[in-house]
Structure 1
Amino acid sequence: MNIGIIGTGNMGTILVEAMIDGKAISPSSVIITNRTKAKAMLLKNKYKNIRIAANAVEVAAESDLIFICVKPLQIFKLLDQINPYLSEKKCLISITSPVSTSQIEKKVSCSIVRVIPSITNRALSGVSLTTYGENCSDHWRTEVEKLIAKISVPVSIDEKITRVASDIVSCGPAFFSYLLQSFINAAVKETEIDEETATIFASEMVVGLGELLKQGHYTLPSLQEKVCVKGGITGEGIKVLENEMGNMFEHVFQATHAKFKEDLHKVEVQFSNH
């Protein structure tokens, strides 16, 4: 099976690296293209047997399974370009949340899947959010599920929770990296610890926390209860978090959903006007 990747920006690159390192695909089965050829060459330099195509049309023509890893408002025009090369035997995967499988199905006749990945997939972990098009064949449902399972836990989601699921799975690592960096910066500012040491401690703490949850030793509430001894130091820190966080995360979800609504409208205008 030949795998095509249109767009080797951050997520396109992460998918290629994860799938190859996770032994889901071989480099020789991969054909990639990107508007900035230098980005495609970075992957070619790392995996010598990857092929670089001149454009998206060449990728679509030579691939059985095609990943579209471009921005939402670039998809409509791209579909027009590659549609003549998308037979019913092929499958197209979009990784962007504002474009639905039903919108893509109205323009092309191949099987359609939406897979929203996470940067955690680069470590062959975390979740990938999957939505199968109404006309997606059983063959491609099975093949895509097997492929994605090599780099993550594939979870099929309902359309109505697409944004919040993406916020948690895909945006979540960036949100919590920001919080962790703020945690480290505050430790350096308020105490005598240096940034390098604080970063090592905080990073290892997060890895350990993940393992505790993954191995099922604690739930989030029970873990907090175990560490937070009544009248102790941790409790004093929790009090500050409770007082100062307020509705911060509610505001985060409000902001992401407002932007998502804006993107949905722009995409809808594109697809409904043609």
Structure 2
Amino acid sequence: MKVGFIGTGSMGSLLIDSFIRAGALQPEQIRISNRTLNKALELSDRHPGLIVCRSNTEAASKSDLFFLCVKPGEFKTVIDEIQEQVHISQIAVSITSPVQLSHLESALPCKVAKIIPSITNQAGSGASLCIYGSRIKEEDRLLLESLLSSISRPTPVLESHTRITSDFSSCGPAFLSFFVEKWIDAAVEMTGADRPTLNALAGEMLLGTGKLLTEEGFSPEQLQERVAVPGGITAQALSLLGNRLDGLFHQLINTTHEKYEEDLAKLDIAFGKTVNRPRY
């Protein structure tokens, strides 16, 4: 199987590195193109055998499956460039969350899907969100999920829930690391504790917590109940967090959705396709 990647920025290169590291793809199977050629050449230096294409059209037309790893504002330009060279048996996969399946299916003759990866996939962990177009057959879905399972847990979601599920799977690592960073900053300032030690402890804590939630069957509520003894230190601290964070997560969701809706409106205009969608 030949796999193309149009765009080798942060997420495109992460997927390539991760698939190769996991042994799911060999460099010789991969064709890449990028707006800045030097970035693509740097990636090929890291993975000898990887094929650098001189155009997006070449990367798409010579692949059985190709990933579109470009920003929302660049998407329509790339689609216009490749659409006449794409055929019905190919699979196009967007990793750009505001791009809708209706946008892709209206502009490309091939099968289409949307996959939202996460930085956690770099560690062979986390989820990858899977949304499939109407032309995707069962064997196509199995092919995609087999590839993705080498670096993540493929998780089908409704397209209408793309943004909220992405908040957890893709934005979540940044949100949690921000929380941990501020917590460690305060600890170092107030106690003089060693930052590298606290960083390591926080990482192990997050890893263990994730395993309890995914492998041991705990819900977040059950986990809090197991740790927080009534009247104890943890319970008092949780009460503080509950009071201080009241309403914050509603604001967080509003913020991510407002940006998503802004990008979506621009894409609707670019593709000449407006669809009434629920806000959440």
Same fold by TM-score greater than 0.5: yes
After superposition, residues 166-205 of structure 1 pair within 5 angstroms as 166-205=166-205
1:204-262 CA-to-partner distances (Å, cap 9, x unmatched) read: 21122222223216332222112111222112211221121121111000011111111
User: What is the CA–CA distance in structure 1 between the aligned matches of 2:31 and 2:211, rounded to whole Å?
Assistant: 36
Of 128-137 and 5-14, more deviation after overlay is shown by 128-137
Residue 246 of structure 1 aligns to a residue in which SS? coil
Equivalent pair of 1:102/1:134 in contact (CA under 8 Å) = no
Q: Can you give the 5+ residue segments of structure 1 that lack an aligned partner in the other structure?
A: none
Partner of 1:142: 142
Write out the 4+ residue segments of structure 1 that deviate beyond 6 Å after TM superposition. none
Equivalent pair of 1:64/1:91 in contact (CA under 8 Å) = yes
Partner of 1:66: 66
Length-normalised TM-score, structure 1: 0.95
Whichever residue aligns with residue 167 of structure 1, its letter is: D
Whichever residue aligns with residue 139 of structure 1, its letter is: E
Equivalent pair of 1:3/1:63 in contact (CA under 8 Å) = yes
Residue 106 of structure 1 aligns to a residue in which SS? helix
Whichever residue aligns with residue 112 of structure 1, its letter is: V
Length-normalised TM-score, structure 2: 0.93
After superposition, residues 1-274 of structure 1 pair within 5 angstroms as 1-216=1-216, 218-272=218-272
State the shift of 1:19 in Å.
1.2
Whichever residue aligns with residue 21 of structure 2, its letter is: D
Whichever residue aligns with residue 139 of structure 2, its letter is: H
1:99-122 CA-to-partner distances (Å, cap 9, x unmatched) read: 111211111111101111111111
Whichever residue aligns with residue 90 of structure 2, its letter is: K
State the shift of 1:194 in Å.
2.3
1:30-87 CA-to-partner distances (Å, cap 9, x unmatched) read: 0111112232233212211111111211101211111000011211111111112211
Residue 23 of structure 2 aligns to a residue in which SS? coil
Q: Can you give the 5+ residue segments of structure 2 that lack an aligned partner in the other structure?
A: 274-280
User: What is the CA–CA distance in structure 2 between the aligned matches of 1:227 and 1:127, rounded to whole Å?
Assistant: 26
Residue 200 of structure 1 aligns to a residue in which SS? helix
Report the number of matched residues. 273
